[in-house]
Structures are given as structure tokens and as C-alpha cells.
Structure 1
Amino acid sequence: MRRARRTLAATVTLAVACTTLTGCFEEPSPHDAVRDFLVGWQTEDYDLAAGRTDGDVATVRKALADAKLELDAASFRFKITSISMSGDESKADFHAEVDLGENNPLWQYESVLPLHLVDGSWKVRWSPSVLHPQLEEGQRFAVDTEPKPRQPVVDRDNDPLQSDTVLYVAGVYPNRLGDRAEEVVAQLSEVTGYAQDRLLSRVRSSPPDKFVQLVTFGRSRYQSMQAKLSAIDGIEVQPQKQPVDPDAPRQIVGSVSALTPETEQKLGGPQRAGDSVGRNGLQQAYQNYLTGSTATKVITLDLKTGRQVAELKAWPGRQNVSVKTTIDRAMQAAAEQAVADTETSALVAVQRDTGEILAVSTKNLHQERDALAGKFPAGTAFSIVAADALLKKGVSAKQKLACPQERTVGGARFVHAGQSTGVTTSATFQENFAKGCVTALASLARRVTADDLARSAKAFGVGLPWRLPLKSFSGALPELSSDADKARAIAGQNVEMSPLSMALVAAAVGSGTWRPPVLVTEPRSPDPSDEAKPIVQPAPVPMDPKVRTTLMAMMRSGAAGTPAQAGKGRVYGVRASAGNQQGWFVGWQGDVAIAVLTKNYDPAAVAGSFFAGLRTSP
């Protein structure tokens, strides 16, 4: 029977109808052969794939397995696009997708499977070009990469916030191994714990004359393993300097380690043995920017000479870039010195007019988890926010308020821990604010509504969503359903704040506008895929000018006579208690606003030391 040329979809069964009385039959279809070959190749069932070719099964099986090693491919995926027949010949067009890792796009190409009938069965006509149209006899695949050194995290003046550390990179030159690649890789796998097949894939996929980085060690680990590595004939170790040793603020900058077998398995993705990985802080948050993506080429090599024959595909990679922070080195140094003599403390300094974080320093607290994201009782430091609501409701800063040792408001009992002025001898609202008299402040609960306090809290950023690259806490004001709840809020007893959120409160009064915090100015987002998308931050909130003028005078009074005002320059702020021997100083001097949280130490003394350090710094 003469067969007409036709094109079939991948799922169509080829058949003809018999028009004679002698019966009918189904014509053989190449579809099953195409499907089995591609499914076997994709799933690494190389016997299934090889059995559908006219080639030697062992030869085909090895060629398919070698292709995966030579490309260091994570996976292959195929899609049949068309099948055509002409007599005893057939052709299947297919689309290939190869995952090469390295944070690059998939390698996609179009190819063709030639088929012919062999003893009544369709077989793929085997040749290396089945794997790729440009692959010929005597050639193999390879992947040529150009690793890039890690970029630094820098301060606001573009100076690195870490210093160089020597890392030790163990690797091989494939052409010097001869046929010992598997043996050498097996020994390296045994002493390091890295998966042997992954190391071997990296060796097999690389051009033979290039140094292949396999495992990176820090100094101490390298010293402990130096003898074992030296005993592996073919392994070479090259020292490399990388900017990975963090300077202050160390926990904000973050630490870097060489990729371990455990982290390689956990992270997946483009990281491979030999890479550096941010473990925490900005080094972790901006890992993909600091390392970029590797420039990669898929090439073919001549098996005899090892020279490149053709370039099949190239990706330039994404350029790695430094991460620019708002940290000011001089202010960071002053902050470090200010907390040095304390037992437990945190200090956050922000630029008054921008919300940019200038310094973060802690003693026995964590800079990210506690200084930026800690949830601490606000205590009477929250009276700054409460005063905004009270002043807007007409409470005068000159209003007389008794400051008894104890007071009950709405059933809630308040105790003033400081020296009382007595019940009859009353000080003003401003004076009670300045000395943090909790009983006097709580007595004003009935002068404001719950909504008044909630609006002022929101205007100072409390509870608003921030978009910092690290963890942060903007504060939390609970639902206020009674006078007792309002009194506790004015006294800060049911309010939680972080040192960062309190520093922003001080900055709002100092500048006249609350602004969200900023830690990194470049790149715009930790995720390269989000770089083109605008980052939505809470909008700045201006203060009522009259309220601000009064509140500034109250905070000037709050800083006067405290160690915060130890030197030159006018300091504004409030020294507050938060129970459990915790204390706050929240205020500003010049264009720098700060919040200091301490335990068993005067927070105003830390603030004074910090401001003095700024005056003596370069």
C-alpha cells in the first residue's frame, strides 16, 4: 500500500481504514518509539530509550548518561511538537528544556528525531545529533562558567562593612586527571561529605583545561582537613580573598560561610559546592545580588584535543552588585562605645528627617531580633504618642496633675516608682511627662477616647507594615475597651515597641513628620525578580505643627538634667521606665534621633555617651 506523507499530533494514533473484503489492519506508528525514547531520556531510564533506537544499546545508554553529566543538568524535559512520515522514513520534531542550574534561564532548543522502519518496527536512527543538532561524532557537551567574586555590603559612603578573609578552594584541572576523575572525586566526597555524583558532574561538565572549583573551606576547617586533602593526588587548593568577615553592626551585616553539604541540600537552586552563602543578616537577605548569577556557555568540545568546537548557547549572567546600606561608620562606632559598659542594652539611631538607620548596637541582645524586631514593654516612653492624642484633645502642657505614689483608674492600679510630689502639691502635665510619673499620666485616661489613642499611634507608625529586608517590629497597641485599658496605654503598660520603632517616634517629633525606616538604599529589593516593582511603604505622616511645638518643649524638659544632656548641643527626649529594671531614653540631638533600651543601667547615660561620641568622632 502506498502511504501518503502526513503530520500527526503527539497523541494521535496513525491508522488507515481497509477498503477490501480481505480484512483490515493498523499501520505501525512511530509515535510510540518517539514517546518511549524521550520519556526514557527524561526519566533516566536509558535502557528504555536505547531500546527504541537502531544503535548499540550500551553505546546509546552511555551517551545519554554522559550528556547529563557533561551538562551537569538537574533535569531534562521534552515536548513532541510534530511527527511526519514518508514511506519507511519518519521525523519527529521536539522541544527540549534543560535545567543547568547556575541561576540562569532554562536551556531550550528545538531538535529532530529521525526514524525508520527496522523489521516492521520504528526505530530512532542513532547518532550524536539526536542529542542536539550540532553535536557530531567525536564531540561532547561541556558547560563553561565564569564564577564572580562575592561583592561587599557597604555603608552610606560606599566603604565595605566587612573585611577580606582568605578562603581555600579545592578543585581540579580535568585534563590532568586522565581517567582518574571518578577515583579522585570519590576520595574528595569521602573526606568532605559532598555528594559524589554532583562533584563528578561538575568535573565532567567543565572544559578540561580550566580549574574547576569543587569545595570551599574557611581557615579553621581547611587546617583540620589539609592533610587529607593533600593526600588526594589531583586535588589542588587555591587561596582566595573574599569580603566575608563582618564589621559592626555584625549581626545586621551578617556572616558568610562556604557552602556545606548540608546547606547545599537545604538551599537547592543555583548554589553549588564551592560557593559562598550568606548565613544571616543582609548577607543572607541579598545573597542573589551579592553573588549574581554565573556567566555560562553551553559548548561542544573535540574529544581528542579538548578544544571548543561550537557554542550552543550563552547567558551573560546577572552582574553581582554591592548592597548599599544607610549605616554611618562614625555613628556606629559611637553606638558601640556607648553600650560597652552596660550589661544588657540596645541602641538604634536614625536620621531624623529621612528615617534612615544610621547605627544599631547591642550588648547581650541581638541587633536584628531585638533592636529591630524586639517586642518590649514601651513603659512611659509611650507617653510621647499619648501626649500627641491628649494635646489634640485640648489638654494643656501647663495643666496641674497630682503625682501620688499610687492611683487606681477604671479598676487598674498604678504605682509611681520615683519620688512623688504628693497628692496636693501638683506639678504640670509637662513636668509629670518629663519625670515619667505613671500615676499622673494614667489619670488623663478619661480625657481621650480609644480611637484618639489609636489614631495617634498609627500616625507614629505603630502597627504599620514596614518593608525592611530584615525582621522588624513596628509596635502593637491592643484594643482599648475601657478607661483602665486607656490608662495602661498612656503609661505604656499594654503597648509593645521595638527600639527601632521608638527611634522613629523620636524622629517624627524632631522632624515634624513620621517616616518609615530605611536600611538599604541599593538595590531596591532583596529579590532580583522584584527589582522592577515599586516597594510600597507606609506614607509619611506629618504632625500637627502646634502639637509638635508643645511636644518639643515637653521633650526638651524631659532631657534636661539627665545624663543625656551631658555635653554641648541641645538634647530632646524622655527617660522612661518599663518595669523589670528596664528603662528607655527616646529623643534626638541635631538630626540624629535615637532610642536606647537598657536593663539595670541608666539609658540616658548611654544616650549622653553616644551624643558625646558623635562630637568627638572624625
Structure 2
Amino acid sequence: MSACGALVASLTTGCWAEPSAMPAVRDFLIAWQVGNYPAAAKKTIGADRDKVTDALGQVRAQLDAASLRLALGVPGQDSKFKAIEKNDDEADAHFSVKVDLGENGQPWTYKGRMHLRRVGGKWKVVWDPSIINPLLKPGQRLAVLTEVPKRAPIKDGQGRSMLQKVGAYEIGVIPGRLADQQRTLDELAKQTKIDGGRRLDAERLLGRVRSAPPQRFLPLLTLQYSTHAALIQQLSHIDGIRLNGIHVPIAPAYAPELIGSLGPATADRLQQVGAPYQPGDTIGVSGVQRLQQRRLAGTPTVRVVVQDPAGTNTQELRSWEGQAPQEVRTTLDPSWQHRADAALSGLSAPASMVALRPSTGEVLAVANRGTSGRNLAFEGRYPPGMTFGIVSAEALFSHAGMNQSTPTTCPGKVTIGGQTFTNKARPGGGFGNHFAAGCATTLAQLGGKLDAQTLIAEAGRLGVGKNWGLSVPAFTGSVPTPANDGEKAALMAGQGKVQMSPLGMALVAAAAQVGTWKAPYVLKGVTNAAEVPPAQNLQPESISSLKKLLNRAAATGFAQPARISGDVVGVAALPTYTSGGQTKTISWFVGSKGDLAFAIAIEDRVSAARIAAKFLRAPAPARTGGR
């Protein structure tokens, strides 16, 4: 393209073949581009200047354009091409238009043309709507149609939707019937405080309304009636707001802390999900719904059209095809999930539970109760106490030549490196007996048989503190390297700075059951395989000793109430910790039964082993497949 095809802002009079007509073209395009519409209208003839001013000024609004750039000439033409063609007192000017539609799609570029006439020795632009777009005729306008595809479902491991239909309202407007668009949308944004005060962006809503077909109902947000009844009633009183009652599958049938919820695209949420979503769109705001927003929602199809005064589309000018939504399938088994929810149902304190399949790593159930919407089953950070003894025991079996029959002691009190450990004293016997009895002093003393690096390395082999490559947030555990013998003794007993989540402990139990630690997964087909750590095989002698250890703990120790059958193994614990100046207790059960491993954490002094028995009493469901 020649120099005469540069952006209007850089135009000069010296490079044009027809300088007499060029100033009028230049001034018109510059004034239009910078938004000085009255100045542009002064360069025209053939129509009332106020109408020209309005027509030019509405282009950006009708397209909800982030920017509009104009350039004389047509990109890609050779040097012989004339941007302005003159014939006596008549002339035609060729120019290009580039519209940035922002969230509505990619930039739209097209060729424009205007006719000029010399009147009284001065060149004037002969006004016609086709200057805005060659296909635009008198009385017509531009509009942007956004076609949002139906959101794909989230399914369980058996291929059934995990969402249930609930009553909701679409809150919207008919743009052409609003007496004062700005006032209506300002009031809507002002009153719409959602989830801690998040609001809609009034200015962006206004742009969306102005670019929409004027005679069609435009939904601006969807609110679930059960959670936003008062707000819906309040919004119904805003002048111009219309309500459309619907039933839509937007509420999780179970595991809501994992699956997440849907809600309006407030200003801060739009910053998270980005284009092409717009203010008021229904988007994922938590859990899998948010993490997999683009996959589940797809992207809308955007069309720029010409409309007649009745709102009928007469011509499509440009379209951007969206991406089709794709379902997300979880590994959750509804039968095990129901059992997990039922097991926690009678508890008054916050509680969480994870169940998974040791042979594959697939998560079968994620239950939370009283956690205020937090997925503590995956993200909880609790001192594990004696349940962490599974990790310590594995290290002792692998590197200290011990087994579950190795003689140990269980004093009522022991001080190591300045830290004191206490429990009920037990007579002498084997390590298995003292482990089953919950002897923290036993594990604390055995820390002398391992160096700190070996202990940390073995914890890492069991996934503690590692990146699991999981497609949802999870706490993988924290085991800081001990600075002295006292901290190492605390680590051995699952105390001090050691923290674990129920998911992390369930994985430890799974490794003890099958002899291999495998990374967990809860979503199928969305995880990057390169991010998933390889399986870690335990030493055969360690596997045998761990199974005997956990079998004895379930048969004779604190975990005994969970022993509903001979194949149930595991360990229970009641570690205490200080939080916010208060001493708290966590009740744990960590164990397995066949190809099922699970962990329960309850923020109260109760028998987690009894909750485990409640969970296990029902018959095991049929296998539902692997990754």
C-alpha cells in the first residue's frame, strides 16, 4: 500500500493526486474517528446535519465498539490505485474501516466509499448511510447479535448429569422500550450486590444494550430464586426491567463445594474469565464451573447485522462463529457419594471426607458438611496426628530395618530436643501394638533411627507436598524439613508444623493398600498428562508390614469401631492444635477396604471411626471404570 493509505491521524496534504478533494475527505474522516460528529456533519450535504451527527455518533454504540479506526485508501492495493477518483465536480473516495468489537469478537475490517461534490468551489461529502457501511440503507441501523450456546453439563462417573433444575429468573430489558437506558442500567448495577457486594459494570451493560436489537428481550443476568428471592423482587421495581421465569439445570445435585455454582458476570469476575463473556452473562463463579468455564460454556457466536426500523434483520455483514460447549465428566460415583454425605449428615461440626479407588487414583466421593462452601475435603489443612504415622512407619520399614513386630516402648511422657510428647503409657511390646494404641511417644522416639532428609523424601514418595497435577485446587500437604531432633520427633508423630488434607491422607492409605502411590484425579480428559507425577512403588517389605500394621490398628486400636468386616484397615487419631488462641481437636479416620481408600476429618472430638463404619455399612457399588 502506498503512503496515502496511512491512518487518518497521519494524513497530510502533500501526497495526494487530487489535493482539491482530499482536505474534505481528510477532515470528514478525522472528525468521525475522533468523535467530533458535528464537525464531520459540517463537511456534508444532502441531509440535515443533526441527522448526520446522530447517525455517525450511533455507530460505536450500535456496535459496542472499543475503537473505530479510519484510513483513506484500501489496504493491499498497488501503487496505481487512486484513493480519490475525480470527474469534474464529482469525486469518489475509497477508505477502510476497522472496528474493534472488544468482547463481542475480533476486529472487523471492511471497505468504505463516499461520494463528493464541489459546491461553490468547495468539496462536500454527499451524505448517505452507505458511508457508514456500503450495505446500510436509509432508516436502517447496525446491530450486534450474540448467540450464547446452551451450557454443557457436568457429569458423574456413570455419565449422568450432576446438575438439577431449579427455578430462576432472567432479568433483562427490551432496549428500544427503555425511556432512559442510562438510568435503568445505573439503578440495576447499583442494586445488584451479589456474593459479598460484587456489582455489575453499568457502563459495559449500557454498551451491550445499545448494540442489541432494540425490539428483542435482552437477558442481562440470571438469578436463582431460592438464593436471590429478595433481590429479584427488588429489581422488579426498576423502571424498564423485565423478568422472565425459567427452570434451568444450574444447581449441583451433590458435591456442591467441588462442582461449584453459576452466577452473573460481575465486573471482577469478568477480569478472571476474560473475553468474550459480557456483563450479566451467567458464568461459573466457583468450583469446576469456574475452572472449566470456557469448556462448559463454549464461546458465543457474534453476528453484525443490518436491521430495519421494526428490528428485522435484513443483512448479515460479518460473523464470528463460537466454539461449541463440551461436557466435563467427573470420576464421582453417585452411590459412594450418597454414602459419604449420609455418613456426615448427623454432625454439627465442620467435617469433610474423600473416598477414592487405590488401583487408579480416581476420586469416588467428595463430601463436606458445615464448611461454608469450602471444599475442605481437598483443601483442608489439619494436623494429622497419628494418622501420619503411616508415612513414618513406611520410612522406618524401608530404611531402619523395622517391621510391625520390632520391640518398642510407649512411655506416658518423653522429651526430645526440647519438645514434650505425652499419651497414655502402655506396657512394652511390638511396634504394631503401640501404633494401634496411638502411642505418639513411640513414634517420637523412633525419629532417631532416620535422618531428616530420608524422612522428607519418603513423605514425598507418598505425594506429600508434591504437585499432583490435579485439575482442581487441593492441598497436597506440608512437611517442613525439621531443624532439630525435637521437630523431627514431632514430624514422626504428625504434630508440630505438619499439615495434611483429607485427600492427601486418603492417598497415603491407598498407597499402603496397593503398594503404589498414584496421583489422584477427579475430572476426566482435562488434565495435562505431562503435569501428572509418575506412580511411586513402595518396597515389598514395607507393603507387607504396613498392611499388618493397619490391620492391627483397626482390629485392636482406636480405629476398631470402623471394623465392620475383616478387610477394613486403618488408623484413628485425635490431634489437638491451637488456632486463633483456641485449642481445637481434629478427629481423623484414615483407612481402606479392598479397592477403596478414604479419609475423614471432623473439627470436633467425636469418633471418626464410627463415622467410617456408617459409611462402609452399605454394599459396595459396581465398578464404574477408570481414567
Q: How many angstroms apart in 2 are the aligned matches of 1:504 and 1:378?
A: 13
The equivalent position to 1:475 in structure 2, one of 474, 477, 501, is 477
Q: How many angstroms apart in 2 are the aligned matches of 1:28 and 1:376?
A: 79
Partner of 1:22: none
TM-score, length-scaled by structure 1:
0.83
Question: How far does residue 53 in structure 1 lie from its aligned partner after superposition?
Answer: 5.5
Q: Residue 555 of structure 2 contacts residue 563 of structure 2 at CA under 8 Å; is this kept in 1?
A: no
Q: Residue 383 of structure 2 contacts residue 500 of structure 2 at CA under 8 Å; is this kept in 1?
A: yes
Partner of 2:62: 70
Partner of 2:194: none
Q: Residue 41 of structure 1 contacts residue 49 of structure 1 at CA under 8 Å; is this kept in 2?
A: yes
Identity %: 32
Q: How many angstroms apart in 1 are the aligned matches of 2:244 and 2:50?
A: 39
Alignment partner of 1:585 is 2:589 = yes
Q: Residue 575 of structure 1 contacts residue 583 of structure 1 at CA under 8 Å; is this kept in 2?
A: yes
Q: How many angstroms apart in 2 are the aligned matches of 1:255 and 1:181?
A: 31
String of CA shifts for 1:148-206, please: whole Å, max 9, x gaps.
343332211122223111222244566xx6xx443588557646747776666555544
Superposition CA RMSD, Å: 3.7
Q: Residue type of the partner of 2:298?
A: G
Partner of 1:286: 292
Per mean C-alpha deviation after superposition, the further-off stretch among 499-508 and 259-268 is 259-268
Partner of 1:412: 419
Q: How many angstroms apart in 2 are the aligned matches of 1:572 and 1:405?
A: 26
Q: Residue 139 of structure 1 contacts residue 302 of structure 1 at CA under 8 Å; is this kept in 2?
A: yes
Q: Residue type of the partner of 1:541?
A: Q
Q: How many angstroms apart in 1 are the aligned matches of 2:530 and 2:565?
A: 40
Q: How many angstroms apart in 1 are the aligned matches of 2:336 and 2:134?
A: 62
Partner of 1:547: 542
Partner of 1:442: 444
TM-score, length-scaled by structure 2:
0.81
Partner of 1:568: 565
Q: Residue type of the partner of 2:536?
A: V
Report the secondary structure of 2:494's partner residue. Answer: coil
Q: Return closer, same or farther for 1:250/1:551 CA change in 2, 3 Å cut-off.
A: same
Partner of 1:373: 379
Alignment of 1:218-367 (within 5 A): 218-219=224-225, 221=228, 229=236, 237-258=243-264, 269-272=275-278, 275-303=281-309, 306-342=311-347, 343-365=349-371
Question: How far does residue 594 in structure 1 lie from its aligned partner after superposition?
Answer: 0.7
Q: How many angstroms apart in 1 are the aligned matches of 2:339 and 2:500?
A: 24
The number of aligned residues is: 585
Q: Residue type of the partner of 1:400?
A: P
Question: How far does residue 569 in structure 1 lie from its aligned partner after superposition?
Answer: 5.0
Q: How many angstroms apart in 1 are the aligned matches of 2:500 and 2:307?
A: 62
Per mean C-alpha deviation after superposition, the further-off stretch among 33-42 and 552-561 is 33-42
Q: Residue 381 of structure 1 contacts residue 577 of structure 1 at CA under 8 Å; is this kept in 2?
A: no
Partner of 2:196: none
Q: How many angstroms apart in 2 are the aligned matches of 1:428 and 1:560?
A: 15
Report the secondary structure of 2:394's partner residue. Answer: helix
Report the secondary structure of 2:307's partner residue. Answer: strand
Q: Residue type of the partner of 1:131?
A: I
Q: Residue type of the partner of 2:564?
A: G
Point out where structure 2 has 5 or more consecutive residues left out of the alignment.
Answer: 76-81, 191-199, 577-583
Q: How many angstroms apart in 2 are the aligned matches of 1:375 and 1:485?
A: 19
Question: How far does residue 576 in structure 1 lie from its aligned partner after superposition?
Answer: 2.5
Alignment partner of 1:106 is 2:103 = no
Alignment of 1:5-24 (within 5 A): 7=4, 9-10=6-7, 11=10, 13-15=12-14
Report the secondary structure of 2:337's partner residue. Answer: helix
Q: How many angstroms apart in 2 are the aligned matches of 1:445 and 1:266?
A: 46
Partner of 2:533: 538
String of CA shifts for 1:124-163, please: whole Å, max 9, x gaps.
6643233223323343212233333433322111222231
Partner of 2:142: 141
Q: How many angstroms apart in 2 are the aligned matches of 1:122 and 1:414?
A: 96
Partner of 1:158: 159
Report the secondary structure of 2:179's partner residue. Answer: helix
Per mean C-alpha deviation after superposition, the further-off stretch among 485-494 and 576-585 is 576-585
Report the secondary structure of 1:15's partner residue. Answer: helix
String of CA shifts for 1:78-129, please: whole Å, max 9, x gaps.
5666684556857454351331525xx3142232354769688876664323
Report the secondary structure of 2:617's partner residue. Answer: helix
String of CA shifts for 1:449-497, please: whole Å, max 9, x gaps.
1121111111111111234343211011112233222212111113111
Alignment partner of 1:403 is 2:403 = no
Q: How many angstroms apart in 1 are the aligned matches of 2:234 and 2:614?
A: 50
Q: Residue type of the partner of 1:108?
A: W
Point out where structure 1 has 5 or more consecutive residues left out of the alignment.
Answer: 18-25, 526-532
Partner of 1:607: 612
Q: How many angstroms apart in 2 are the aligned matches of 1:505 and 1:79?
A: 66
